[in-house]
Amino acid sequence: MGTPRSLLRRGALPAAGAALVLLGVTACSGGGSDSGDGPQTVTLWVASPTEAFSSALVDAYNKTHKNQVKVTGIPDDGFLQKIGTAAGARSLPDIVVSDVVYLPNYTSKGVFLDLTSRIKALPFASSVAPAHVQAGTWEGKQYAVPHKLASSVLFYNKDLFKKAGLDPEKPPADFEELLADAKKIRALGPDTYGYDFGGNCGGCTAYTMMPFMWAGGADVLADQGKTANFGNDTVKQVFGLYKQLWDAGVMPANAQTQDGSTWANNFVSGHVGMMAQGSAIVGDLQKQTGFDWGVTRIMSPDGSGTSTFVGGDAAAISATSEHADAAWDFLSWTLQDKQQVDIVAKNGDLPVRTDLAGNPNTAKDPRTKFIMDGVAGGKTPFALPFGQAFNDPTGPWIAMVRGAVFGANPDDAIAKGQQAIQKALDNAQQ
């Protein structure tokens, strides 16, 4: 994820969903058998933005194991269609690395192999990113493990805080402070802005606005994703904050049209004071030397709670795999201490195990350690039609966001969004 890539995925295509229905395998399928004693080749598909990350693990594994893993990168905008078509044709690879938000769509249709007993047998099972494990659980069975982790926090520019007369060691703790700080930073000059967001990107806004809602106690997708709860006061306060920021002119004009392709640029270039964003931009921030930056939790309106969206990618074994044991050997290997510390964390990514939060590669930058410490209490939204309802650029979530933030009648936009999202959830249950 250069800019948080899990946010940028477009919605699941109707054809992909239809193809999944055709799969017709049961979730308790044995996944085929590993035949023979010779080396086996395990196939793995991953969306192209995560290919380099996956390949680093695969290359290390292939150098030390008889079995070999072959990675195929799929263009991001065609990934969902590719998986759906392959599932319908029973020609999926052994391992599928998927955006974690799409797991319920797959697990509910029997696309993946039941990994419950294998996951529970891991000596560190209780420390494997709980939000990812929950997202990959269907009817009590676990089907996926975390592969690449991302977590949303509030980033802020300490240099701009100083220039605005703010304490660079005291980021905002509630909505009132966030709005006031943003206005002071905006007053620094015409090219300096207090806040920014991807206002025309469904995934970006879900990734960064839902944590504000969760922090305030709003369970916006309840009952295992069957019930939408966007009509409550907390959600209205979150949208209200963003509308105030927009109406006050503290955001750059392109926030309204930002589709996610460059939504971190204004902050990383030093022109924005604050931005809720994903941990994926940490690498870019660490490389730049133009300004000092900090992180804080995404907070509730009154500051009494905090939360984070635990995004990224999860890995699963296809239910039709003929190399399930070999595939699990690779996946379980990736979760071990050495790989998580010496490959994942050393590269600047977050380890997928909470018990490794204090590893030296993560802890050497207190800001990265701070982000990692929040993963244990974070959430991953659970909804069968997450692609269509939330990531789709024409879906009901982004229509609600845009109406509530940029429109003249926020309450009407929220009411219509609640109704449309609930309809999408209901349709997915049929």
Concatenated DSSP letters for 182-217?
HHHHHTT-TT-EEE---TT-HHHHHHHHHHHHHHTT
Q: How far apart are CA 76 and CA 81, in angstroms?
A: 10
Which residues are CB-neighbours of 313 under 8 A, at least 6 positions away? 6, 46, 47, 50, 97, 98, 99, 100, 146, 147, 148
Topology, domain 5-150+312-364: D-Maltodextrin-Binding Protein; domain 2 (3.40.190)
pLDDT at 121: 99
pLDDT at 38: 81
- Return the DSSP state at 13: P
pLDDT at 26: 40
Topology, domain 151-309+384-428: D-Maltodextrin-Binding Protein; domain 2 (3.40.190)
Q: How far apart are CA 62 and CA 67, in angstroms?
A: 7
Q: What is the CA radius of gyration of the chain?
A: 21
pLDDT at 28: 41
With beta carbons less than 8 A apart as the criterion, state whether 375 and 93 touch.
no
Q: Whole-prediction pTM value?
A: 0.93
Q: Is 238 helix (H, G, I), strand (E, B) or coil?
A: helix
With beta carbons less than 8 A apart as the criterion, state whether 160 and 194 touch.
no
Which residues are CB-neighbours of 84 under 8 A, at least 6 positions away? 12, 13, 15, 16, 17, 18, 19, 20
- What b/e string do you get for 300-329 counting C-beta neighbours within 10 Å, with b at 16 or more? bbebebbbbbbbbbbbbbbbbbebbbbbbb
As annotated, the residues of the chain forming the CATH 3.40.190.10 domain(s) are: 5-150+312-364, 151-309+384-428
Q: Is 357 helix (H, G, I), strand (E, B) or coil?
A: coil
Q: How far apart are CA 194 and CA 209, in angstroms?
A: 17
pLDDT at 58: 99
Concatenated DSSP letters for 269-307?
TT-EEEEEEEGGGHHHHHH--S--EEEE-EE-TTSS-EE
Which residue positions in the chain have pLDDT lower than 70? 1-37
With beta carbons less than 8 A apart as the criterion, state whether 318 and 93 touch.
yes
pLDDT at 7: 41
